[in-house]
Amino acid sequence: MRYKAIIFDLDGVICHTDRYHYLAWKGLADKLGVYFDEEINNRLRGVSRMDSLEIILERYHGEELSQTNKEELADEKNEIYKQILKRMTSDDLSPVVKNTLDMLREKGMKLAIGSSSKNARLILKQIGLLNYFDVISDGTNITYSKPNPEVFIKAAYELDISPSECLVVEDAVTGVEAAKAGGMDCAAIGNAVTSQSADYKLIDFSELLNVASLDNRNIAIR
């Protein structure tokens, strides 16, 4: 097979917590009187919590905020977000995603998570996948967020597989950039299909079965 491992982004790829991030940030933005919409939310994909806050504050015209104020705001958003996460169940994992993961595993593919989120393990627990992946690399073990490749490089290192034999699956343009910067191929899905750097563009998650098994890229939907 062309790849030995697949490293999956979490929010927006394995499950749709991207919608929940939007709702939580929207709650905070409304409170601050800051305009926020789905288009701005797309810029937050793959970006760390504090960097996301800075993007939201681009439209803030209130009193100057100290670093402590900003950390409190980020905590406040995270509390709203975690309340939503607690209501997630295995119903938040689509059968297509679960079946595709199972089939990739049956083919002998190593499977990992490469997420900027510090809530990754909570999300995986809620959807019943906490013990499913060979490696979980997430926001708790990185210094630099995507587009820095750190989270993916750490996943490949822990898998003990060379980056050139890993495929990353991403829904964020910043995530595609991170994968490429780490020397990995990248399959874009959802919002990331606009990226010029993606090696593959997926319409459906199940297309990964074709990408993973081929020795060339001719089937790729570009």
Site for ligand B16 in 78-117 (CB under 6 A): 78, 115-117
Burial 5-27 (b: 16+ CB within 10 A, else e): bbbbbbbbbbbbbbebbbebbbb
Report in angstroms how near the CB of residue 15 gets to ligand B16 at its nearest: 9
Q: How far is CA 179 from the centre of its chain?
A: 12
Report in angstroms how near the CB of residue 174 gets to ligand B16 at its nearest: 9
Which tokens hold the place of 129?
A: 């996948």
Question: Could you confirm whether 9 is annotated as catalytic?
Answer: yes
DSSP 11: B
Q: Is residue 21 a contact residue for ligand B16 (CB under 6 A)?
A: yes
Q: Is residue 46 a contact residue for ligand B16 (CB under 6 A)?
A: yes
Q: Is residue 16 a contact residue for ligand B16 (CB under 6 A)?
A: no
CA 16/CA 56 separation, integer angstroms:
21
Report in angstroms how near the CB of residue 203 gets to Mg ion at its nearest: 17
Query: CA nearest 138: which of 9, 4, 12?
Result: 9
Residue 21 binds which entry of ligand B16, Mg ion, none, CB below 5-8 Å type-dependent: ligand B16
Site for Mg ion in 5-64 (CB under 5 A): 9, 11-12
Site for ligand B16 in 51-70 (CB under 6 A): 52
Residue 49 binds which entry of ligand B16, Mg ion, none, CB below 5-8 Å type-dependent: ligand B16
Question: Could you confirm whether 11 is annotated as catalytic?
Answer: yes
Angle of CA points 118, 9, 110, to nearest 5°: 110
Report in angstroms how near the CB of residue 46 gets to ligand B16 at its nearest: 4
CA 21/CA 153 separation, integer angstroms:
25
Start-to-end C-alpha separation, the chain: 20
Contact residues for ligand B16 (CB under 6 A)? 9-12, 21, 44-49, 52, 78, 115-119, 139, 172
Which residue numbers are catalytic? 9, 11
